[in-house]
């Protein structure tokens, strides 16, 4: 996984949620590619509209 693939996935996911006229909460771990993808999308002129990203605490992925 890299941030380019993750950005593409996030855009696709958000579009699918938007088509369904719903909202989604996406829980993600602190993998650097995920963080960079979300950061780059937030800086763009068209951020995610129907998807909110929340981060799990560091080193907590295996616990949750």
Q: Is residue 64 part of a domain?
A: no
- End-to-end Cα spacing for the chain: 21
Give tens-digit pLDDT for 30-47.
899 999 999 999 998 889
Q: What predicted TM-score, i.e. pTM, was given to this entire model?
A: 0.85
Domain count, the chain: 1
CA dist., res. 29 & res. 22, Å (int):
23
At 53, which helix (H) or strand (E)?
Answer: strand 51-55
Q: Is residue 44 part of a domain?
A: yes
Q: Per-residue pLDDT for 12 more than 90?
A: yes
Q: The domain containing residue 20 runs over which residues?
A: 3-55
The more confidently predicted of residues 63 and 57 is 57
Amino acid 32: pLDDT: 92
Q: Per-residue pLDDT for 20 more than 90?
A: yes
At 13, give phi and psi (nearest 5°): -60, -45
Q: Per-residue pLDDT for 58 more than 90?
A: no
Q: Is residue 62 part of a domain?
A: no
């Amino acid at each position: 996984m890299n941030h380019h693939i993750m950005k593409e996935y996030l855009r696709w996911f958000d579009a699918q949620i938007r088509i369904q006229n719903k909202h989604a909460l996406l829980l993600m771990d602190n993998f650097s590619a995920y963080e960079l993808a979300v950061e780059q999308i937030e800086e763009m002129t068209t951020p995610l509209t129907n998807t909110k990203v929340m981060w799990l605490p560091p080193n907590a992925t295996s616990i949750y």
